[in-house]
Structure 1
């Protein structure tokens, strides 16, 4: 019994020594934080971070090309400047002056979809924009002429030709759920 216990203790000690050696070797070959991610500066350094040059679309509403959605039901990009439209609060939302269902047709703008007029958790419909969705820039961002930071070959596969310009989220939200 004693010999078995000695063998277990000896094996455990050897494993600890080996782990310590491996840890020491791993620490010596660690990757510097400047080599992680796209920032290329120390993770704690905010002063020397250089963002890529991005040209934001700053023209007036209605005067820019509208980019296709990135994928079906992706939040569409904002094709105009946000100057004077921010901040968005529950009490003050300049987006709704042009994008409510009632006004959009008259203004020639894209109306907020049906999913914004209901509580998705309960299915309860509302007459006004759902109060959980009042902050438009939480999902929608301004269009920019920017190259992807990481190259990829993703191609959106839209189920129909309208899906690249409109949302059918309410219709497909529970698709495949029994």
Structure 2
């Protein structure tokens, strides 16, 4: 009985496959993918281009952060501010904490005024050796911007406007009430040691 059922199921599957493959299953290659162009050449593969926000600083609307403690995105035009280097950083004119409120800008958080790099020494063979391998380093620079953070656009970027080929369905998850109440504010320095047991190495 079981053999008969197995044979009939196999025969039905073979018949179904025959019907499927006998039908016209051809697909126009230009309908493949998101670009909808000839897949053998790049001649027609023209990107939509970028359309950055051109509002002047202080007149634009802030973007909601993508996730907890995410670096905020730049909502205004940065054409005249680039390139940024350690000796010429126009961002500081509005975003330093002492002036940010008056300028209507997001203040630079405490993490950017903190050195997280451990002190190092050099041995007789010119090898660098960390003097604090087993603890989190947080050296307060007392209002002086840490030079490891001078390149603002390394983490913060202007946003382009336009239709997405694939919609973004990501939703931020804030694991506690503090995260929910600080959605548009960084509190990373308070959470830096979270999950790290000092003394066991990092």
Normalised by the size of structure 1, how large is the TM-score?
A: 0.68
Deviations 1:37-56 (A, max 9, x none): 98x899xx7x8763334321
Counterpart mapping for 1:11-160 below 5 A: 50-121=46-117, 122-126=137-141, 127-158=143-174, 159=176, 160=179
CA contact (8 A) 2:73 2:159 kept: yes
Deviations 1:118-152 (A, max 9, x none): 01232111121110000101110113324445445
Question: Would the alpha carbon gap of residues 148 and 101 (structure 1) be closer, same or farther in structure 2, given more than 3 Å must change?
Answer: same
Q: Secondary structure at the match of 2:81?
A: coil
Report the count of equivalent residues.
143
CA RMSD of aligned residues (A): 2.9
Question: Would the alpha carbon gap of residues 129 and 36 (structure 1) be closer, same or farther in structure 2, given more than 3 Å must change?
Answer: farther
CA contact (8 A) 1:67 1:143 kept: no
Q: Secondary structure at the match of 1:106?
A: helix
Equivalent position of 2:192 in the other structure: 173
CA contact (8 A) 1:72 1:156 kept: yes
CA contact (8 A) 2:58 2:103 kept: no
Normalised by the size of structure 2, how large is the TM-score?
A: 0.61
Tell which structure's C-alpha radius of gyration is larger.
2
Equivalent position of 2:120 in the other structure: none
Question: Would the alpha carbon gap of residues 53 and 100 (structure 1) be closer, same or farther in structure 2, given more than 3 Å must change?
Answer: same
